[in-house]
Structure 1
Amino acid sequence: MVIGNDNGVLMAYYSGDLMILDQGNDLSSSSQISWFFYGIMLAGAGIIFAYAKGRREWIPNLSLIVLLLAAVYAVPDISKRWSTYLDESVQISENEEWNESWPESWKNTQIVVFELPTGEVAFGGLKDHQSVESLTDDAAFRLGISIEKEEFEIGKWIKSINGLESSGWEFTINGHRASLGIQDAEIDNESIVRWKMA
């Protein structure tokens, strides 16, 4: 899903392959895939039946149904690949650099920086986090910073950090603005994640 605002900020989000809507509902993407598969198979069988019975005027309509089902099935993957392509192709001149005031033990590790009105608060030396969400949660816990999240259909958003709310919070990874949400944005073992008010 792609969202834009009045400031010209455009963000793309991908909710992932497996999403459980609520605890009491067994509807997941695997059951949705089954319905898409069965729908395509049923429409394909209808095309074959129409061709066999000589009702060729049905074939274009049934073919459009198959095409529509295939397109709906492919949109999330296309969206994620497009966002990844944009991240790789757009070169931003601003890069996150090593701060000399940080301890040497933080070099070649994951670091989180929170830009608060009282100044920057950073925590490093973290390892093996795969997403911005898990890295941010770990660093905030160790620093004693409270994080309030809101979950939407497109993913989780940070509503407030240490009780500070604004128009939201945005993050960069190594100086580059991410186009995916906090649970989908991938990081490596030497990433620097910076949070600032939007």
Structure 2
Amino acid sequence: MRAPQSPLSTRRMWLAAPPAFCLAASLVGVVGCKSNQHEDAKWMAPPKSYDPKGADLTFNTKNLDAFNTLSADERAAQLDAMKAAKGQFKGQGFYQRQEELTDKIDDRQYGKHDVWITVKDPVYLEITVEYHVFFDEPQLTGLASNTPVEFSGTFLDMIYEDQAKPRRMELKVKGDAINVMKD
């Protein structure tokens, strides 16, 4: 024998609810939503010195424009010259993560720790940039993702996908120094 149900049980209330009540209940969710058109909080903005497009960096907008117009042979010659210039590579971006590399990883030859740094917005046209900065010791331990950093070091290698959309550069650098950027 079943127990008698209350006349206002949840199931019966929704089944017997007038259409106006259902409409009002659904509009509460729509009206209560926030707009996607809000500004980022000022405390989350990168410091004023963060400028991967215009700062004096190895691959800022001006230098990337010049590199992009080179032929394949001229690009190879410029990359060789960059490899020979020890400690002259400079970059900025947002720290993503750090990985400790095992001996079985090919990039282990560059360093034991790989720091991933990305530039969120394209530096030139639609070209996106990602850095792998290698160090022998751990760097920026406990740093939150998306923290703006600047680094310097020696250029090692580049993967440039110039036929992809968007075009993409992955740069490998043997790091000399890395710092959190502050105002």
TM-score in terms of structure 2 length = 0.26
Which of 1 and 2 has greater Rg?
A: 2
Structure with the largest fraction of helix? 1
Structure with the largest fraction of strand? 2
